[in-house]
Structure formats: structure tokens, C-alpha cells
């Protein structure tokens, strides 16, 4: 599992506007990466709306937010629009980034394979993981308090 102090794996994924977004695009800024199982589900919606509702807190900490799931860019575009999310949602349809961050369920509900585990990573402005939380229970959400405390400590 990826841990604090390690270099964050690089990635380039398509966002909901069908544009490529890379981790290196955020060099010099902190990044919170939230892997989530599936768009339009209740816990994923609550998690991402929590980030939306506190976007000013993250902006004040020079932090970009990226949501990543194995959903298609088209599904993520509808989800982003419906929930008015002011940050990029990235499609890891090929599951390479979820695999690099060790956040894939072997088997999810209804025997689905290759779904991202709900997880949160704080990456500092130099690309180093400062916080990592991978949840096996998709009904739980990451500790937003711990994420914000980590960002405050590296400000």
C-alpha cells in the first residue's frame, strides 16, 4: 500500500470534459486525490458534495481536488453537472491509476471486479504522499478532518 513519504505515482487521465489531466499539472500545489467506487451512489455523492461544500477551505490551503473512479468520462460529466462539483472528476476506466495507488477491490458488490476502493491521498507540492487512507468498507468516508489537518501542517 502507498504510504506517507513515498513519491505519488504519476498519471494522466481524461476528465469529464474529455481533456487529459496529469498529476504533474499540479506541481507546486497540494492535491487531494479521492478515489471513489461509482458515480451516482449515495456515499460517493455525499463524499464529493462534502468536498464541494468546503472548497474554500481547500483553496485557502493551495490545494486542488481530484476525484477518480472507473466510470467513463461521460458518466462523470453527468455526475459532475448534477452535483455542481467545482473540481475535476477523472476516468480511470482502464484501472491503471487505481492499481498504481493500490485501491482496487478484487470483488465489489454484485460480483463487479475492478472498482476503485474509496480512498484519499494528500500529495504535497513536491509530489510526495503526506496522507493515505484506503477504506475496505465502501460505506465509510475518509477522515476529512485528518485530510485538512495534514494540509494545514504542510502549508
* Residues acting as catalytic residues: 44
With residue 52 as reference, give the H or E element that holds it: helix 42-53
Q: Which parts of the chain are beta strand (E)?
A: 12-15, 20-22, 30-35, 63-69, 88-91, 119-123, 129-134
How many other CB atoms are there within 10 angstroms of residue 94's CB atom? 11
CA–CA distance, 92 with 70 (Å, rounded to integer): 5
DSSP state of 114: S
Amino acid at each position: 500500500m502507498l504510504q506517507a513519504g513515498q513519491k505519488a505515482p504519476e498519471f494522466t487521465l481524461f476528465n469529464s470534459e474529455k481533456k487529459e489531466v496529469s498529476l504533474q499539472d499540479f506541481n507546486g500545489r497540494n492535491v487531494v486525490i479521492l478515489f471513489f467506487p461509482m458515480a451516482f451512489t449515495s456515499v460517493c455523492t455525499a463524499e464529493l458534495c462534502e468536498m464541494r461544500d468546503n472548497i474554500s477551505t481547500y483553496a485557502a490551503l493551495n490545494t486542488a481536488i481530484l476525484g477518480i473512479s472507473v466510470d467513463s468520462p461521460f458518466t462523470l460529466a453527468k455526475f459532475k453537472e448534477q452535483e455542481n462539483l467545482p473540481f475535476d472528476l477523472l476516468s480511470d476506466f482502464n484501472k491503471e491509476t487505481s492499481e498504481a495507488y493500490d485501491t482496487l477491490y478484487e470483488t465489489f458488490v454484485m460480483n463487479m471486479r475492478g472498482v476503485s476502493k474509496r480512498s484519499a491521498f494528500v500529495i504535497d507540492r513536491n509530489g510526495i504522499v503526506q496522507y493515505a487512507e484506503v477504506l475496505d468498507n465502501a460505506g465509510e468516508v475518509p477522515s476529512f478532518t485528518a485530510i485538512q489537518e495534514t494540509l494545514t501542517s504542510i502549508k
